[in-house]
Structure 1
Amino acid sequence: MNPNCTPAARITKSLLGYGVIAGPIYGVVALAQALTREGFDPIRHAWSLLANGDFGWIQITNFIVTGLMTVVAAVGLRRALTPGRGSTWGPLLIVAYGLSLVGAGIFRADPAQGFPAGAPQPSTISWHGMLHFMVGGVGFLCLIVACFVLASRFTRDGQRRLAWFSRITGVVFLAGFAGIASGSHGPTTLAFVAAVLTVFAWLTTVSVHFYRTAA
């Protein structure tokens, strides 16, 4: 951190730092579980199912901690953005996405497709399973809109690469969300995982950009 930064800039950089690390932490923790949890098939099972079973607390914590870091990063983004297009709604929509991750951790997805090992396919969705899908859906839509809102801001500021990355991220996440919402599995599940990782790569990139430019 530049020692010549103002105190306000140091705070902004510290907040944005959480956006830099949120995605890598989420991805590493979830992938480690996906590869080691008994009965979990990364091709068939969504990462949300990792919140079930004896070690489900790991993914629950992963959701909540990552969500809170995303909210903090959005506060930093709001501080870093000068007044103008997207300076209010961009960060607010990212806050909504972060809170949806927290909600996804609090409201656990139901066991499904034989995970945890031996779990029967539920005939009905529980109240917490329904809330998991609802808060996730709202958060996903907010994140998609945030990508296009900030793409417009980056275009205005002459940041063409960030603008295009934002648009591509929005489209990729919309496609991944539509696929997983259709109820299909296999390639669709992997595509959604790729979309989530793309979103966090975008958040990291945006956070790094404003971290470097905060004065």
Structure 2
Amino acid sequence: MEAPRKETGFDRAAAITRSLLGYGVLAGVFYVTLGLGQAFMRDGFDLSRHSLSLLANGPWGWVQTLNFAVTGLMVLAASVGIARALRPARLALTLVAIYGGSLIVAGVFPADPMDGFPPGAPTGAADEMSTAGFVHLAAGGIGFVALAAAFVALGASFAARGHTTMARSSRLSAAVLLLAFLAGAATATSILGVVLLWIAVLVGWGWLATTSVALYRAVPHPDLHRRPQTP
């Protein structure tokens, strides 16, 4: 009996999908690494009291603005990769893309200086919220809600494909992210509020990365000769 032959060639579509999904992993690493790097280098910044959004203020604020913009573009790329891997997945694409867009908007409109940062800013919250500060806060709220909803949509897609563990984890991540964000936003000027916001951020990035890796592995290898041999 003749042995099955392996196909040769390159699947460009699979390669593109895998590349786009890679940004779902890189986005969170890039954002958190660059943010923490600034946090330890900027005078007056205290991780126990200040959110990374405040880094967009002051002489070096452009670095955090760039952080938001580049990270947002990575998330937009990942949203396309997710949609290609889970086709059809328009809802997940739209929701993850909204989160990416919210990051870009949050970078263009910085948070108001507060609680002593940058140096010279008033203690506690600003007496009046600026237009930029309001847009930044609204973008953050819309973005986190969209990301939580995206996790629910992804959970449904995983469930439909029989991946029960991924489905449950997606829904759990959505609940933790949303609750932590809402509670953190309500207590943003306290240490607890900062901790809760960090939980929301890390859960969001962590599950986006986990989902991207899972889908990356599910996409067939672009080199056809490296795919499992079919009878």
**TM-score computed with the length of structure 2 as normaliser:** 0.86
The CA distance in 2 between the partners of 1:82 and 1:67, in whole Å, is 22
> Partner residue of 1:43?
48
User: Which residue of 112, 127, 131 corresponds with 2:131?
Assistant: 127
> Partner residue of 1:205?
210
Higher Rg of the two aligned structures: 2
- Aligned Cα RMSD in Å? 1.5
2:111 maps to amino acid: A
1:117-161 CA-to-partner distances (Å, cap 9, x unmatched) read 121253211111111011111111111111111111112212122
Secondary structure class of the residue paired with 2:143: helix
Are 1:138 and 2:142 an aligned pair? yes
Q: How many residues align?
A: 210
Give the 3 Å change call, closer, same or farther, for CA 159–5 of structure 1 in structure 2: farther
Instruction: Tell whether the 8 Å contact from 1:42 to 1:190 is kept in structure 2 after alignment.
Output: no
Shift of 1:82: 3.0
> Partner residue of 1:10?
15
Moved more, 158-167 or 191-200: 158-167
The CA distance in 2 between the partners of 1:60 and 1:137, in whole Å, is 18
> Partner residue of 1:72?
77
The CA distance in 2 between the partners of 1:35 and 1:104, in whole Å, is 22
- For structure 2, the 5+ residue unaligned runs are 1-7, 221-231
Shift of 1:4: 5.5
- For structure 1, the 5+ residue unaligned runs are none
Shift of 1:183: 3.5
The CA distance in 1 between the partners of 2:193 and 2:9, in whole Å, is 48
**TM-score computed with the length of structure 1 as normaliser:** 0.92
2:37 maps to amino acid: A
The percentage of counterpart residues that share the same residue type is 44
Moved more, 67-76 or 159-168: 159-168
The CA distance in 2 between the partners of 1:214 and 1:194, in whole Å, is 30
2:212 maps to amino acid: S
The CA distance in 2 between the partners of 1:33 and 1:69, in whole Å, is 20
The CA distance in 1 between the partners of 2:193 and 2:207, in whole Å, is 21
